[in-house]
């Protein structure tokens, strides 16, 4: 009996959003009298940072600092329509809607500023710090604060914009079944190293190396946090989590989350994460959806690593020591010509 080392590799591609029935999202953007901007959405931030990224996208499009943008996710009764926060669609679908709404609001803002400066709107640009100036003549300028005041109290205009991004429904070909399930795909590859005790079936994950291609990382630190957290989740799905008991009777299952098995900090492997940026042609500033795929490739990578270590293929999660031992014994019995 010995500790056996194994290495497993898994690669995936992951669709951003879905369009089996169409995949729309809408956004509304308007300025306050003080030159800040409100973005109204029905898209929920689940903790992945949707509000921060949408604020960045709006600010970049309008040409203001990110801190001048507030995201109001409200609810589906009061906000514009959104299909929902799922299918890794938030950044891509909602971000595109925000871009469209912010572009419309920016155009109105420049028109208001143009009237105040007595120039053409096409001659104006923003400096990203809260000012609008004439191209090539930065000394001739007006603050966005003063522009918003002029719009509300002098010109009687609303600096606002509406945006909608819709992926048209894809219908399968009646002959082949071929269709276009997504407009862009993110990619990942994971290499996992494990140590398996072939006497007890105990698994120790020694290291996990994750490589993700996410389009463009609009907020690199948030992307890194999401990928590292996803790697932890993938390991947990593969080796720990289950709503079913490990033994034949359901009565042996956990009764609450205090008894729900998950890896703690001491169970985490050495983890390396690398991000590749290949901007998507139809994503907001090149972004794709890294969300759900963060926790996907670790599962087959660990299964492959266990197979490499002890030569048994486990296809039921979680991959527990008991299941590994049963598989090892079954393999040995077959090798000896016995049946159980």
Selected residue with higher pLDDT from 94 and 78 = 94
Question: Is the pLDDT at 1 greater than 60, yes or no?
Answer: yes
Question: Is the pLDDT at 7 greater than 90, yes or no?
Answer: yes
Question: Is the pLDDT at 126 greater than 70, yes or no?
Answer: yes
Average pLDDT over residues 326-339: 81
Question: Is the pLDDT at 90 greater than 60, yes or no?
Answer: yes
111: part of which helix (H) or strand (E)? helix 95-117
105: part of which helix (H) or strand (E)? helix 95-117
Q: How far is CA 99 from the centre of its chain?
A: 18
Question: Is the pLDDT at 186 greater than 70, yes or no?
Answer: yes
Class of residue 183 by CB neighbours under 10 A (exposed 0-12, middle 13-18, buried 19+)? buried
Question: Is the pLDDT at 221 greater than 80, yes or no?
Answer: yes
Question: Is the pLDDT at 224 greater than 70, yes or no?
Answer: yes
Q: What is the mean pLDDT of the chain?
A: 91
Confidence grade of residue 289 (pLDDT, cut at 50, 70, 90): confident
Q: What's the Cα-to-Cα distance from 92 to each of 60, 84, 110, 115, 256, rounded to whole Å?
A: 15, 12, 27, 35, 36
Please tell me the predicted confidence (pLDDT) of residue 297. Answer: 95
pLDDT tens-digit series, residues 139-182: 999 999 999 999 999 999 999 999 999 888 888 889 998 888 78
Find the range with the poorest average confidence among 74-88, 241-255, 315-329: 241-255
């Amino acid at each position: 009996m010995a500790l056996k080392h194994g290495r497993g590799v898994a690669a995936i591609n992951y669709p951003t959003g879905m369009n089996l029935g169409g995949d729309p999202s809408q956004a509304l953007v308007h300025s306050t009298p003080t030159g800040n901007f409100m973005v109204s959405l029905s898209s929920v931030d689940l903790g992945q940072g949707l509000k921060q990224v949408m604020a960045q996208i709006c600010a970049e499009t309008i040409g203001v600092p990110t801190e001048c943008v507030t995201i109001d996710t409200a609810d589906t009764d009061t906000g514009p329509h959104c299909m929902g926060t799922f299918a890794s669609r938030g950044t891509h679908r909602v971000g595109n809607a925000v871009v469209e709404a912010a572009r419309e609001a920016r155009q109105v803002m420049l028109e208001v500023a143009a009237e105040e400066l007595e120039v053409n709107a096409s001659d104006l640009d923003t400096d990203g710090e809260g000012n609008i100036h004439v191209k090539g003549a930065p000394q001739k300028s007006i603050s966005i604060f003063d522009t918003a005041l002029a719009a509300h109290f002098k010109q009687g205009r609303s600096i606002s914009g509406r945006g909608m991004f819709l992926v048209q429904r894809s219908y399968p070909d009646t002959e082949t079944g071929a269709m276009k399930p997504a407009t862009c795909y993110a990619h990942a590859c994971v290499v996992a190293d494990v140590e398996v005790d072939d006497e007890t079936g105990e698994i120790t994950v020694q290291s996990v190396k994750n490589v993700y291609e996410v389009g463009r990382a609009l907020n690199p630190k948030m992307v890194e946090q999401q990928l590292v957290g996803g790697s932890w989740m993938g390991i947990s799905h593969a080796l720990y989590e289950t709503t079913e008991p490990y033994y034949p009777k359901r009565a042996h299952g956990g009764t609450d989350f205090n008894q729900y098995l998950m890896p703690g900090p001491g169970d985490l492997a050495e983890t390396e994460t690398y991000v590749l940026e290949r901007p998507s042609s139809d994503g907001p500033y090149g972004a794709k959806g890294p969300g759900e795929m963060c926790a996907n490739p670790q599962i087959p990578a660990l299964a492959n690593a266990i197979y490499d270590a002890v030569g048994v293929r486990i296809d039921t999660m979680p991959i527990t020591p008991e299941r590994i031992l049963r598989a090892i014994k079954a393999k040995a019995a077959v090798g000896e010509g016995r049946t159980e």
